Amino acid sequence: MPNKYVLPELPYKYNALEPVISQEIMTLHHDKHHAAYVNGANAALDKLDKARKGEAQIDIKAVLRDYSFHFGGHILHSIFWPNMAPPGKGGGTPGGAIGDKIKADFGGFDKFKQQFGDAAKAVEGSGWALLLYDNTTDQLVLTQIEKQNFMHLAQLPILLGIDVWEHAYYLQYKNDRGAYVDKWWDVVNWSDVDQRFTKAKR
């Protein structure tokens, strides 16, 4: 039996991000959607393990596709939760090393915020916008992920991500993804992003 993935607890209460993200959304998003990705990734690993032992026959392409989807969802959400903090603790302008790097690479925080926000709003269908660090060129880069199969640029650590699947905002913002993205900046945990950047540079 392979080791199991585990659903992480939220680093704050379910209502802590209100009014930006409601308690109802956070509860469903964490307890139902993220939990489903954890369970799906574990189920795929279990099928692969049984196939190796000769205990079951599987459609390897389908199982690996399921694993990629659910594992990607688990990893991305495990970054998404601590990437946010309650209003008053999150939001504002980043300081520290990440603040300096954003200024250097994007020409200022406002330009970064505009481009990252545009990337999030323009994801086709469901997916994510991510800020990554490329240590081979020492630069911050943006990328989009459609759905959540783990397709970010190979081996580049994720510093910041926003989930723009409808389950992340629809109960509160309906089909206005743009309003959700614009308000989300009020809960970005720049301390967490800075720590991820410092670790990525080592």
Dihedrals φ, ψ of 90, to 5°?
A: -105, 180
pLDDT of residue 27: 98
Beta bridge partners of 146: 127
Q: Report pLDDT digits (tens) over 92-138.
A: 999 999 999 999 999 999 999 999 999 999 999 899 999 999 999 99
Rounded mean pLDDT of 181-190? Answer: 98
Q: Looking at residue 7, what is its pLDDT?
A: 98
pLDDT over threshold 80, residue 153: no
User: How many other CB atoms are found less than 10 A from the CB of residue 108?
Assistant: 12
Spatial distance between the Cα atoms of 65 and 190, rounded to a whole number of angstroms: 33
**Inter-residue contact 38 to 74 (CB < 8 Å):** yes
What would the mean pLDDT of 148-174 be, rounded to a whole number?
A: 89
Dist. CA 40–CA 150, nearest whole Å: 14
**Average pLDDT in the 139-165 region?**
87
Share of the chain above pLDDT 70, in %: 97
Is 163:77 a contact under the CB 8 Å cutoff? yes
What span, in angstroms and rounded, lies between the C-alpha atoms of 71 and 58? 18
In order of their start, the domains of the chain are: 23-80 (1.10.287.990), 96-201 (3.55.40.20)
Mean pLDDT of 83-98: 97
Among candidates 148, 154, 158, 160, which has minimal Cα distance to 37? 148
Report which of residues 126 and 1 the model is more confident about.
126
Q: How many CB atoms lie within 10 A of CB 52?
A: 11
Q: How far apart are CA 45 and CA 55, in angstroms?
A: 14
